[in-house]
Amino acid sequence: SVEQCLSLGGMLNQWNKEKERSIKAIISLFDHAISGDNFANNIIENAAKAFAFLIKRRIEFFQSHNTKPEKIVIGQRLGNIVSDKNNPLSKLIFQNNYNNVSIEISTDRRTAALGAAYKAHEKQN
């Protein structure tokens, strides 16, 4: 699933299935990918593919309603991860132009809650 491939928990669960279950193993996923570990790189590549799939579906949803998203905000834990443009996942994610839709990063974990609250308020009015 997209969640299994793209979420921090999903990536780490895949990583930990092959490596010892420790904090050191969790922290080392990107380091192993950078050093050429094929398994780690496969996890990262699947996450980037899942991200591209998710963005494509979001854009298609907007297009089916005759509009285009102004921007896509990556938030929560994934926002924190990809805010470092030097990690392998960030590099793969940001090499795509996503139909010229702007991709922005939010490291503020409250962003999703604010968006959900706004939508709930908007539906009531």
Question: What separation in angstroms does the CA of 78 have from each of 18, 108, 120?
Answer: 22, 11, 24
pLDDT of 112: 61
Cα 105 from Cα 6, distance rounded (Å)? 15
Q: What is the pLDDT of residues 26-78, one digit of tens each?
A: 457 888 899 999 999 999 999 999 999 999 998 999 899 999 888 888 887 78
Whole-prediction pTM value? 0.68
Task: Please give the angle made by the CA atoms of 41, 99 and 117, to the nearest 5 degrees.
Answer: 85
What is the chain's mean pLDDT, rounded? 80
Angle between helical axes of 8-18 and 38-64 (0-180°, round to 10): 150
